Amino acid sequence: MEAGPRDTAEGTEHLTTGRGEPEPEEGRLSPDGPDDDTGGVSDDGPEPEEMFASGPEVEVELRPQRRLRIWQLAPIVALAAVGSLMFAFPLAFDFGDSGAMIAMLGLLICSCAAGWGMMAARRVGHTWPGLPPRGSGRRPDWRVVLAYVVLVAAVVALAVGRVARLR
């Protein structure tokens, strides 16, 4: 088995070929490649004016735009509809003693659907109005966050107060 160039020590040289003949000195390669000055890398690509001969360069996004698909939206809409009906019917019609429980369960299902929808929208890159986009590095304005918290607290307080009046 003949040793390759990496199997030799650094200071040793190959003086013979595989058949025992001395190796010609002009046929040897330097450690970093051929010594002829042919210009190194050849320019075999198109020239800049050839590249854009058909008009200006147009950038095209290869990835499809991220948006909510029907299979993501259908279960969220279905849960929200069922939850809102469960919440609204006991409030509108007399359901007896179980009306408050059904209404609170409907409110819980509707809230879960809203949270699921918000998480799905966040996953595709949508944000609430006034809040910075995800991954932008900017911090949300505390006044916008406070407005959202007050709005959600008011809706929950009104819903719980309405259900509590059923009893």
Please report the DSSP string for 30-90 in residue order. BTTB----S-SS---SPPHHHHTTTSS------SPPP---HHHHHHHHHHHHHHHHHHHHH
Average confidence score pLDDT of the chain: 75
pLDDT at 3 over 60: no
Question: 52-61, 70-79, 103-112, 128-137: which range is least confident on average?
Answer: 52-61
Q: What is the pTM of this model?
A: 0.49
Average pLDDT score over residue span 54-82: 78
pLDDT at 110 over 80: yes
Question: What percentage of the chain reaches a pLDDT higher than 70?
Answer: 63
pLDDT at 21 over 70: no
Reading the block at residue 72, the tokens are 């993501």
Q: How far apart are CA 15 and CA 109, in angstroms?
A: 85
Q: How far apart are CA 32 and CA 24, in angstroms?
A: 18
Average pLDDT score over residue span 9-25: 55
